[in-house]
Structure 1
Amino acid sequence: MTVNRLGKAYRRYNSEWQRFARWFGLPVKPSEEHWVLRNIDFSIEPGKAIGIVGQNGAGKSTLLKMITGTLQPTEGSVQVNGRIAAILELGMGFNPELTGRQNALHAAGLMGYSVEQIQQAMPDIEAFAEIGEYFNEPVRTYSSGMQMRVAFAVATAFRPEILIVDEALSVGDAYFQHKSFDRIKAFQKEGTTLLIVTHDRSSIQALCDRAILLEAGAIIKDGKPEEVMDFYNAIIAEKENSTVTIRQMDDGTVQTSSGSGEASIVSVTLHNVRGEMIEFASVGEPVSLRVKIDINQDIPELVVGYMIKDRLGQSVFGTNTHHLRCVLKDLKAGESPQYDFKFPANLGVGSFSVAIALHANDTHLVSNYEWRDLALVFNVINVAKDQFVGLTWIPPQVEYSR
């Protein structure tokens, strides 16, 4: 699929005659013109997945509607090879007076499938949705989660070449979200292309090969999911006097930081029980995460937070001194506080990174002094524990009988 210089503008004319004239190609200028999207360019290969992120009003849903053909672009083009299945707005196209079964038949028919094909797939649609007798009840009696179950079951009843999902899964319960993601991953293995819009960082990083960040109707970043999500979070945290900086690391990774600068991170290191700085920790080993800070201006309070992430950038564990009830008050310029977060490295074997945030209140979205991703990278090895797999070490006690 290829998106070439795609744009959408909403125009207002002084009269309907001017609008009609514009339709026929006459050079009539609108009285008002508002571009929602402009100069959108990207392509995606079969079987790949792109996550589209951005703040409300960035143009994400408009882009997906133009790709699916439910909205005509003002300029540019979309070249699609294969059948598209889309879950855009929740319940879009559903008649609230019809039953789930009737709506499934109607929706699948609009997707181009024959009545015979749909009837053959109907038992699978009903089974996947798992709404019981409600499948034969009017959709107006459904909860939002039930509507999403039926919509997803219909859209994925037949494996599409391209699957587009716009935030719909966010209304589902945890069980159905896992079930839906399993089906999406299975489709990806079979060659389905995926476009997904969501604010859920873990979903983007678990499913996508790339991520695209939209801001004010334009693409401002296109790259690896972790890098794009870090940049997105930095933009959200950015306040009037703060800046976002990007730095290329020695190993090729990209470090994103932001902040207004009243306090700054001097160093982030990991230490063993003897106080020695380490790059490798054994599974379950007691360690200390040391954060040194400089206070550059007087601030009313300082909250320090950290987030441990796996190699894909997905969050493993995070907390801050607000939740730990250890907040410093009334700090003066020139002070240099140090924090030691002590914990057992109950992590799986692999590489992990640490993001650090300095702020006031309980979140870095308020008074963001500095937020730095990839502030530290360390590795966990298994020296003395029984073999296991996964991101965390949770040793069980086994009881059995026969």
Structure 2
Amino acid sequence: MPNILEVNGLGKAFRDYGSEFKRFASWFGVRVTPRHEHWVLREISFSVGRGEAIGIVGQNGAGKSTLLKLITRTLMPTEGTVAVHGRIAAILELGMGFSPDLSGRQNVYHAAGLMGFSREQIDTAMPEIEAFAEIGEYFDQHVRTYSSGMQMRVAFSVATAFRPDILIVDEALSVGDSYFQHKCFKRIKEFREQGTSLLIVSHDSGAIQSLCDRAVLLQGGRVVRDGDPVEVMDAYNALIAERENSTMKVERLETGQVQTTSGTFEAVVKGIRLHTMEGEQIEFVDVGQDVELRIDVEARADIPRLVLGYMIKDRLGQPVFGTNTFHTRQVVDDVPAGCTVSYVARFTMNLGPGSYSISTALVSTDTHLVDNYEWRDLALIFTVANHSHAHFVGSAWIPPKFDIKSTP
């Protein structure tokens, strides 16, 4: 079965010809040299299979929104091709295509009509669209009176009123309240179960890793990574952390997982281990066991201010718990080059059975966006098993004590 979407050698340049006459002439094949040319995207190629979910990630200005506009044909490419084998529903810029002088209901008729649906089909779907949006009497008032969240509610409701072959969602969902975001992602998951393909742009690593089969990382208008969502999000986080004189390294571990490390490497993690409280090094931890996380850091240059942070993640790369010595008020000042600083974090492993990893960050403040000495994902991998407690499910061990009373 063919892919639902195929993008080949796609590129988009915005050109300044200096006059509208020259621009008009270029439309008819006249060779006109532009005064200025700026390429936003170049040589973009990837495909989306039927029922597959792809996340598009990248820093601001990487070309994500332009790519979606090219796929939905609201922009025409300068080079390359886009082949779509099915019906697309897209939620791009907030309120895109909505008239502020029309009511929400009137805009639904207009938007759904442009999507190719008849008046009769829209009439049938209208009660569901209105109910899903949940904006009450505002549905029949001018869109100019809407908040950004209300616009998003109506836009998502009409775009998903009829199940598409491929659903494209830009970052518009980020303006909604948590309740409606939950409704949106529930509907997206239902569509996926029914065979709809998904193309989503988001900075939310949780959404990308939980919804997507693959992720594509854009940087400078080009594809720099296409693969497992966890690995791509790690590379994306490393790009964010990069600063002058910092670098990014990618290494495949013996487990087959890809480890991403970035930073200036003025300080590095030389050792990271889990131990029992009696000092024995372990890789398998019992639910509820008291452990020590031991981390040795080597300073390769004089470090005025050193903060260690760590994050425990589940097998999908979702954060479980994280903290750093800035928040615990244990910053180490004036670390000379060649010095080793040893950290011991003691805690109870109140996690459910499964595979987990620990990422580390060596910084100067509470974030790796200031001085990123070293940021390393998959610094340690360990397994939690339930050997000594009653059976339970979930990612956290929160054992209850029941009080039960019966009344006649």
Q: What is residue 114 of structure 2 aligned with on the other side? A: 110
**Which residue of the other structure, out of 219, 227, 234, is the alignment partner of 1:223?**
227
Q: What is residue 387 of structure 1 aligned with on the other side? A: 391
**Which residue of the other structure, out of 146, 149, 156, is the alignment partner of 2:150?**
146
1:67 aligns with 2:71: yes
Rounded to whole Å, the distance in 2 between the matches of 1:280 and 1:273 is 14
1:84 aligns with 2:88: yes
Shift of residue 152, structure 1, vs aligned partner: 0.8
Q: What is residue 374 of structure 1 aligned with on the other side? A: 378
Which letter maps to 1:40?
Answer: I
Q: What is residue 194 of structure 1 aligned with on the other side? A: 198
TM-score, normalisation: structure 1:
0.98
Which letter maps to 1:122?
Answer: M
Mean CA deviation greater in 7-16 or 307-316: 7-16
Rounded to whole Å, the distance in 2 between the matches of 1:135 and 1:19 is 41
Rounded to whole Å, the distance in 2 between the matches of 1:253 and 1:318 is 21
Which letter maps to 2:386?
Answer: N
Rounded to whole Å, the distance in 2 between the matches of 1:40 and 1:105 is 35
Rounded to whole Å, the distance in 2 between the matches of 1:364 and 1:293 is 16
Name the count of aligned residue pairs: 402
Which letter maps to 2:10?
Answer: L
Which letter maps to 2:324?
Answer: N
Which letter maps to 1:70?
Answer: T
Mean CA deviation greater in 137-146 or 269-278: 137-146
**What SS does the corresponding residue of 1:337 show, helix, strand or coil?**
strand
**What SS does the corresponding residue of 1:368 show, helix, strand or coil?**
coil
Shift of residue 94, structure 1, vs aligned partner: 1.3
Q: What is residue 236 of structure 2 aligned with on the other side? A: 232
1:165 aligns with 2:152: no
Rounded to whole Å, the distance in 2 between the matches of 1:16 and 1:173 is 43
**What SS does the corresponding residue of 1:312 show, helix, strand or coil?**
coil
Shift of residue 273, structure 1, vs aligned partner: 1.5
**What SS does the corresponding residue of 2:373 show, helix, strand or coil?**
strand
**Which residue of the other structure, out of 368, 381, 384, is the alignment partner of 1:364?**
368
**Which residue of the other structure, out of 13, 16, 34, is the alignment partner of 2:17?**
13
Structure 2 stretches lacking a partner, 5+ long: none
1:29-80 Cα shifts (integer Å, max 9, x gaps): 2121111111110111010011001111111000000100111111111100
1:324 aligns with 2:328: yes
TM-score, normalisation: structure 2:
0.96
Mean CA deviation greater in 92-101 or 287-296: 92-101
1:41 aligns with 2:41: no
Give the alignment of 1:251-330 within 5 angstroms: 251-330=255-334
Rounded to whole Å, the distance in 1 between the matches of 2:220 and 2:344 is 41
Mean CA deviation greater in 16-25 or 325-334: 16-25
Structure 1 stretches lacking a partner, 5+ long: none
Shift of residue 28, structure 1, vs aligned partner: 2.0
Which letter maps to 2:147?
Answer: S
Rounded to whole Å, the distance in 1 between the matches of 2:40 and 2:243 is 24
Give the alignment of 1:113-124 within 5 angstroms: 113-124=117-128
Which letter maps to 1:196?
Answer: I
Q: What is residue 155 of structure 1 aligned with on the other side? A: 159
Q: What is residue 98 of structure 2 aligned with on the other side? A: 94
Is the alpha carbon distance of 1:136 and 1:395 closer, same or farther for their aligned partners in structure 2, counting shifts above 3 Å?
farther
Shift of residue 365, structure 1, vs aligned partner: 1.1
Rounded to whole Å, the distance in 1 between the matches of 2:140 and 2:397 is 46
**What SS does the corresponding residue of 1:150 show, helix, strand or coil?**
helix
Rounded to whole Å, the distance in 1 between the matches of 2:372 and 2:308 is 11
1:81-116 Cα shifts (integer Å, max 9, x gaps): 111100001111111222222212221111111111
- Stretches (4+) displaced over 6 A: none
Which letter maps to 2:255?
Answer: D
Rounded to whole Å, the distance in 2 between the matches of 1:15 and 1:344 is 69
Rounded to whole Å, the distance in 2 between the matches of 1:94 and 1:384 is 59
